[in-house]
Amino acid sequence: MERLVNDMVVFEKPHALTDVPLHYCPGCTHGIVHRLVAEAIDDLGIEGKTVGVAPVGCAVMAYDYFRCDMIEAAHGRAPAVATGVKRADPENLIVFTYQGDGDLASIGTAETVHAAARNENITVIFINNAIYGMTGGQMAPTSLPGQVTQTSPYGRDVKQCGYPVKICEMLSMLDGPEYLERVAVNNVKNVLKAKKAIRKAFQNQVDGKGFSLIEVISACPTNWGMTPSQALKWIDDNMIPYYPLGVYKDRSAGLIPGAKEDK
Ligand SMILES: Cc1ncc(C[n+]2csc(CCOP(=O)(O)OP(=O)(O)O)c2C)c(N)n1
């Protein structure tokens, strides 16, 4: 077949992603976030020194997708594993975790809080899709009040199940962490902001600044019982109002929330 003379590449796959096809459901946003992480690794030229830690959850097979060393952690334990790896060779390794909300904000809450409080020099990518995805859509600590899930068929009842855990707000009250930002990947503008935040979270680690966590508001159309486009709209209409996007802490930029002394 004749090739066009002016053919040019306008969109390349990041080098830090392998050619293994992703297993994710149609409309799942894990793939977008994988790409953003890989772009950050490429941009910073850290592929050969990066180690990822992925626990169980839909991203359990991330070791096939990233072209860097990967370790699989037990459910919720990624920050502890990442701490060990980073402390073994702090000058040379760049270590990130990639965790779901069931993982990071439920079984792994203590790991998350204490890694942040210790200001471990690691990068945490936190996928908040308001549900336990891999196991079939059960209610997660992040499921919205009234949200219908497999285990809350009449909607999450806060009287019985309590309120969702807001990780960025909660961690921002700790002295430890360097950088906390909540982003979303439901439209182009938000994806570009997410890309910038994820890159910064890796840059902070390269610069030795400490614990950076990016919470990514993500879609799970399969378990939400929606089409991919309905799921992206549901994020705008329901998730972002409950989980406002933005920077919750940036110590180096002087953004440190918390109670101020009365003058
Ligand atoms: C100790 C332990 N408890 C429970 C499970 C079962 N389990 C596997 S994945 C998962 C939920 C994952 O949900 P989430 O972390 O939100 O990630 P997602 O699949 O939505 O991306 C659970 C409960 C397990 N594998 N190990």
116 in a domain, yes or no? Answer: yes
Compute the distance from residue 142 Cα to the ligand 1 centre, in Å. 13
Percent of the chain with pLDDT over 70: 96
13 in a domain, yes or no? Answer: no
pLDDT at position 10 = 83
123 in a domain, yes or no? Answer: yes
Say if residues 199 and 150 touch (Cβ distance below 8 Å).
no
pLDDT at position 49 = 98
155: pLDDT strictly greater than 60 = yes
Query: What's the predicted TM-score (pTM) here?
Result: 0.95
Q: What are the start-end ranges of the E strands in the chain?
A: 50-54, 69-72, 94-100, 123-128, 179-184, 212-217, 246-250
Calculate mean pLDDT across residues 15-21.
Answer: 97
Q: Is the CB of 143 under 6 A from ligand 1?
A: no
Calculate mean pLDDT across residues 99-111.
Answer: 98
Going by CA atoms, what residue is nearest to atom 12 of ligand 1?
57
pLDDT at position 1 = 44
146 in a domain, yes or no? Answer: yes
23 in a domain, yes or no? Answer: no
Instruction: Give the domain range for residue 212.
Output: 30-250
Lowest-pLDDT choice from 103-117, 173-187, 247-261: 247-261
Compute the distance from residue 81 Cα to the ligand 1 centre, in Å. 17
Copy the structure tokens of residue 77: 């334990």
93: pLDDT strictly greater than 50 = yes
pLDDT digits (tens, 9 = 90+) for 179-200: 999 999 999 999 999 999 999 9
Q: Which amino acid belongs to residue 180?
A: L
Give the model's confidence band at 262: pLDDT under 50 very low, under 70 low, under 90 confident, else very high.
low
Task: Give the number of domains in the chain.
Answer: 1
Q: Is the CB of 58 under 6 A from ligand 1?
A: yes
Number of H helices, E strands in the chain: 11, 7
131: pLDDT strictly greater than 60 = yes
15 in a domain, yes or no? Answer: no
Going by CA atoms, what residue is nearest to atom 7 of ligand 1?
135
The residue behind tokens 């990071």 is: 104
91 in a domain, yes or no? Answer: yes
25 in a domain, yes or no? Answer: no
Tally Cβ neighbours within 10 Å of residue 50.
24
pLDDT digits (tens, 9 = 90+) for 29-72: 999 999 999 999 999 999 999 999 999 999 999 999 999 999 99
2: pLDDT strictly greater than 60 = no
Give the model's confidence band at 5: pLDDT under 50 very low, under 70 low, under 90 confident, else very high.
low
Whole-angstrom distance, CA of residue 55 vs CA of residue 218: 18
Here the CATH number for the domain that contains residue 38 is 3.40.50.970
Q: Which amino acid belongs to residue 94?
A: I
Calculate mean pLDDT across residues 13-39.
Answer: 97
Whole-angstrom distance, CA of residue 160 vs CA of residue 68: 43
Give the model's confidence band at 7: pLDDT under 50 very low, under 70 low, under 90 confident, else very high.
confident
